[in-house]
Structure 1
C-alpha cells in the first residue's frame, strides 16, 4: 500500500473526523444486497456515471480505477461500459488513504461515497494524482436536500420531547459547495450535476429500516448511542407523515444524487485567457455598436 499522500493542497492539517469510518465500512460490508429496495440509490448513481462516460466524445479509458464503495454492483457495471478497459478496484480505507499508483489511470470513479468522506478534498486530490494528464475523475454522493423533511421531523420531535438536539442524520453538502471541491482538488473543467429521486414508503419507520439496509444509517462520531425514545420516534413519524404525505397513506421521501466530474490538468486542455487579452470585440461579433456603460441607446 502506498504511503499517505501529502494533502497540503487541501488546506494543511487534516480536519477533525466527522464520521466513524470504521463503523460505516462495516455497515457497507453487510448491506442487504439481496433486497432490491436496498440497491436503488446505488443503481441510480451508477446509471449517472455511465451516462457521463457516454457523453465524453471520442474518448476511451484503457485503464480505470474504481474507488470501491462497498457495493458489488459497481465494478461489473463499470467494466461492461464499451469505453472502459482494464478496471482496478481500490478500497478507501478508514484512514481515507487510496493505494493507487500515481499517474497510472485514464479514469477514476468514486462510487457513491463522497458524502461519507471526512476529508473529501483530500480524497479527490489522491484520485487526481492517480490520473494521467487529461484523465477523467467522476465522484458521486448524496446532496443537501436529501431527506430534508425527515431531518426536520426528527429535530423538531427531539426538541419537543427532550428540550435538546443530537446528531441523527449526517450533514450533506449543497451542490455549489460540492462542486467547489473539484477546484480545491486541482481539477480542470469542473462540473457538478444533481439528480433528484422521489419515492415513498409505508411509513417513516420503513424508510429508516431501508437506510440501515443500504448502509446509510447514522455513523457520526458525535451520534447519540442511546436508542430513540418511543415518544420521540412516534412524534417524528407523525410530523413526517403530516408534511410529506403520499398516495395510499404513505410518506414521501426525496434523495439528491450529486455527480462531480473534472479532469486532471493536461497540456491539450482549453485554457482560460488572461482578462483583457481578447483580440476581437464582442460588439463586432454581434454586429452592434459598442457604447460606454451608462449611455442610453438612441430612441
Structure 2
C-alpha cells in the first residue's frame, strides 16, 4: 500500500550539527546566503505595501544584516523575527529563534511576510512546508524564498563521479539533488499561493583548487547531508583524482577552476479576494497577430509564399 509520507532524503540532525559547526565561519564563507538575502529584499521594493510582522526562515541572520544597509527595504518591515535550524546560526542581535523549517510552528494568519534565504532546499517535505507557510500568512501576505538550484556544483558533481567510476566499482551520490524553477512554480501553486513566480540567478565563482571550494561549502554548512550518503569515509585518493579531473575539465587559462552556483527565487501571495485573477482560456478580446502588428498565417500556409 503506497505511503503518503514523503521520502526522507536528508539527515536533518546531521545538517543541524554541520550548521552549528559552520556558525563561526559563516561571516567569512557566507557570500552565497548574503547575496540571496540582498536579492530577496530587493524584491520587496516594488511591492506597494508594508509588512508589520515578518519572519526570516533560515539564513543565519543574513536578512537582518542586509536590512542594516538596505534602508528602503527596512522601512517596509516593522518587526523581524529571524530563525534557523541551528541555534548557533539563529543567535543574533535582534529577535531570533531556533526553528526547524519542517515543523513550522507559527499560528495561522499571523505573519505579513515570510522570506527564506537558502534554507528550504534541505527540507524533506517541501510541499508540506510551503503549505504551512501559506497558512501562517495573513490574507494577501507575501512569501519569497531563495533556494539552491539544480545546476549548482555541476562541475564538482561530475568530477567526483568520474573519479569514483575510475577508481572503484560504481559511484555514490555525494552532492545533494536540487529543484529547478519550474518545479518551484508548480509547488507554490499546489501549496495554494496566488500569482506564483520563479526565476534563476546564476553565478560562477573561481577557486584555486577543488579543495578551496569544498572548504567554502563546509564553512557555509552546505555540504551534503543525504540519508543515502556512503557511510564509509571517502579515500584521499578519490579526492585527489577528483581534483585532477576538475582542473582538467573546468579550469580557465590561468589555472583557476570554475564553480557554478544557481539560486532559484520563488515568490507568491497568500490568497485574498482583492487579488487579480488570471483570465479564462479563450477570453482574449485582441488577436495576438493584431497586437504584434503582423499578418495572421494559417497552419498550412508557407512563410514567404
TM-score (norm 2): 0.84
Query: 1:178 Cα shift?
Result: 2.4
Q: Does 1:54 align with 2:60?
A: no
How far off its partner does 1:72 sit? 2.3
Among 208, 212, 220, which residue is 1:206 paired with? Answer: 212
Distance, in Å, in 2 between the alignment partners of 1:249 and 1:32 is: 31
d(CA) in 1 for partners of 2:150 and 2:118?
14
Equivalent position SS for 2:22: coil
Q: State the match for 1:217 in structure 2.
A: 223
Q: How far is 1:159 from its partner?
A: 1.1
Asked if structure 1 preserves the Cα contact closer than 8 Å seen for 2:54 and 2:77, the reply is yes
Contact 1:166 1:223 in 2 (8 A): yes
Pairs within 5 Å for 1:1-299:
13-34=4-25, 36-56=27-47, 58-69=48-59, 71-78=60-67, 81-91=74-84, 93-94=99-100, 96-246=102-252, 248-278=254-284, 294=300
String of CA shifts for 1:130-186, please: whole Å, max 9, x gaps: 111111100111111111011011011111111111121101112222222211211
Q: What is the DSSP-based 3-state SS (H/G/I as helix, E as strand, rest coil) of the residue aligned with 2:135?
A: helix
CA root-mean-square deviation: 2.5
**Per-residue displacement from partner, 1:53-92 (whole Å, max 9, x unpaired)?**
1132x221111111134x1223343476221111123455
Aligned in 2, Cα 1:227/1:103: closer, same or farther, shift over 3 Å? same
Gaps of 5+ in 1: 1-11
Do the aligned partners of 2:38 and 2:63 also contact (CA within 8 Å) in 1? Answer: no
1:55 aligned counterpart, secondary structure: coil
* CA separation of 1:78 and 1:13: change in aligned 2, threshold 3 A: farther
TM-score, normalised by the number of residues in structure 1: 0.86
Cα 1:86–1:293 change in 2 (3 A) is same
Aligned residue for 2:143, secondary structure, equals: strand
Structure 2 unaligned residues grouped into runs of 5+: 86-98
SS at structure 2 position matched to 1:164: coil
Q: Verify the 8 A CA contact 1:90 1:98 in the aligned structure 2.
A: no
**Contact 2:140–2:270 (Cα < 8 Å) also in 1:** yes
